[in-house]
Amino acid sequence: MSNIAAPNVPPAVPQGPRPRYKRRLSNYLLDKKLQLRYVLVVTILSGIIAGSLGYLIYQQRHTGSESIEKDLVELAAKFHDRQTDDLRENIPAQMAAEDRNDVFTMIGVGCGLVVILTGYLLIMTHKVAGPLFKISMYFDRMADGRVGVVTALRKGDMLQEFYQSFRDMHEAVRARFVDDNAAIEKALAALRESRNQGDYRGEAHGKLDEELDVLEKHVAQRSKQLA
Amino acid sequence: MADQAPKPSAAPDRSYKRSWKNLLINKRYQLRFTLFMVGIAMLLMTGLGYRVMTKAIEATTVSKTHVLGEVCPTISLLTEDVPPPVVPMKLDEPAPDPAAPAKAADAPKPDAKPDAKADAKPDDKPDDKDPPRHVKVQLDESSLTLTPTVPVWTPPLATTFVDEIAAHWKCQISQEHQLYMLDLGRLRILLVLIGSGLLLVFGLAIYGIKMTHKVAGPLFKVGLYFTKMQHGKLDKVYNLRKGDQLVDFYEHFKTAHAGVVQLEKDDIVRLKAVIAAAEAAGQGEHAAVSELRDMLARKEKALE
């Protein structure tokens, strides 16, 4: 009779509902190097395009204003009446104010664009960094010899295929260890059963018992790691 | 046969280099990020480029108006009135003594009311700017023929005429040139915008794919190791290529792989010890020990 309780092999299905982690603003920047690189490239590029084209717009507008101003000065030199003088004084000021407004509008739109782009890109890259972060956590557990159950990704995450391949690998490794553990347990039980059937030599028998005990502890510990 | 014999194998070269052929490893991830980048650039270039062109057309129109507003010097010979041909006029009736009516006209009538003309002072001279009030004529007394007095027209000096023509056409050509240059400037802006836009799109597409490849590459490599691990193969994990991203992630993977390898090694140690003890105890031929031996062999092979 075997007096050793069979170690519990954990099932491959999680025991209870796991807490659902939601995205939070504080942890959007998971992989700074990966995320900031892409965010900076796109934002700086957009800034350069918007800046240079914005300058071109301002330049063209200013050229038109200058030309009109020059015409007004010439007109005022020819006709010395009050109406022309008023035009010469008011129109350039009005055009300069419009030019300034245009510049401020463009700066405002550019800043808005940068802010919106940065936010959107952070979210977009987070959908890549998130799964990688999660897999890294499982990697750390595997490094400690813990091969537990892997949960699914959140909805909207990218790299679903990659994560699925990780999950398949993890399940396969886990299943193999579970099977091995079960086989070792079975072998342990069989060897303990057959202890009276062999050619007994006291020292060797004691050594086998000792090794079987160690193996039993090893199997129990492995079962914990697979939980 | 000897020729086909394999050459002595050198150490396997694990330093894979990037190749254009396999830049798109993870199409969904790479194209999504690259197309987003290209899309943003295109959107900005199109929107702002359209605005630039609108302003450029406005500026060109204003500048053209300014250029056309400058009047070129005229050629006096072509623009002044040509003197009419001299047509002598013969009077039908003999005129009275020219001195008498002149005197009568000069002498004011006693009962005549003062009018506007009479108010005019005798020294009033017509303004230079006003057209002449009377036609001046010459009277040939011998034949009683009136001939309109024609201002003596002297042809312009040749040099002045040439200078005027030169100045006029120089101005005209200069204006045409300025208008052409303004159109050319606008066209140049358009071409620069289109060129830089296309360059940006193609450049960004290539850069985006290369940049994302540095992420997709390590993921692809890790994916290959996943497949191996799934099939129970736990061979050596090699380093990433130079310039690859996800270095930290890959380090995590290496420790995980090492962890699994360690689990297998622990099993191997335990199994070896039990098998040896069982053999020493005379249980070497037991079915359970044979199973353990098979398991041991499989685990050892996995680590090769």
Band the pLDDT of B119: cuts 50, 70, 90: very low
Question: Can you tell me the mean pLDDT for B102-106?
Answer: 46
Contacts 24+ apart (CB under 8 A), B39-43: B40/A42, B40/A45, B40/A46, B40/A117, B41/A45, B41/A46, B41/A49, B41/B200, B41/B201, B41/B204, B42/B197, B42/B201
Q: Which residues have C-beta within 8 Å of that of residue A161, sequence separation ≥ 6?
A: B28
**Strand B145-148 to B137-140 pairing:** antiparallel
pLDDT by residue (tens digit) across B255-301? 999 999 999 999 999 999 999 988 888 878 888 899 999 999 999 99
Return the structure tokens found at B150: 């024609």
Instruction: Please check whether residue A65 is in contact with residue A92, taking contact to mean a CB–CB distance below 8 angstroms.
Output: yes
Residue showing tokens 């396997």: B12
* pLDDT score, position B90: 58
Interface test with A, best of B61, B67, B202, B230 (most A CBs within 10 A): B230
How far apart, in whole angstroms, are the C-alpha atoms of residue B284 and residue B290? 8
User: Which among A56, A117, A165 has CB closest to B226?
Assistant: A165
Record: contact B260-A139, CB cut-off 8 A: no
- Smallest CA–CA distance from A53 into chain B, residue: B48
pLDDT by residue (tens digit) across A153-212? 988 899 999 999 999 999 999 999 999 999 999 998 888 887 766 555 567 778 888 888
- Smallest CA–CA distance from A130 into chain B, residue: B249
Q: Which of residues 112-141 of A touch B (CB under 8 A)?
A: 117, 124, 128, 132, 135-136, 138-140
Q: Measured between CB atoms, does A91 come within 8 Å of chain B?
A: no
How far apart, in whole angstroms, are the C-alpha atoms of residue A143 and residue B256? 4
Average pLDDT of the residues of chain B: 78
| DSSP H or E segment with residue B265 | helix B247-280
Angle of helix B27-69 versus helix A82-143 axis, rounded to 10 = 170
How far apart, in whole angstroms, are the C-alpha atoms of residue A73 and residue A88? 6
Interface test with B, best of A36, A39, A57 (most B CBs within 10 A): A57
- Smallest CA–CA distance from A200 into chain B, residue: B281
Q: Which of residues 41-70 of A touch B (CB under 8 A)?
A: 41-42, 45-46, 49-50, 53-54, 56-57, 60-61, 63-64, 67-68, 70
Which amino acid is residue A105, in one-letter code?
A: T
pLDDT by residue (tens digit) across B166-189? 888 999 999 999 999 999 999 999
Give B145's strand partners.
Answer: B90, B140
Question: Can you tell me the mean pLDDT for B86-105?
Answer: 53
Q: Has this prediction a pTM greater than 0.90?
A: no
Inter-chain CB pairs, A–B, below 8 Å: 209
Average pLDDT of the residues of chain A: 83
- Smallest CA–CA distance from A39 into chain B, residue: B37
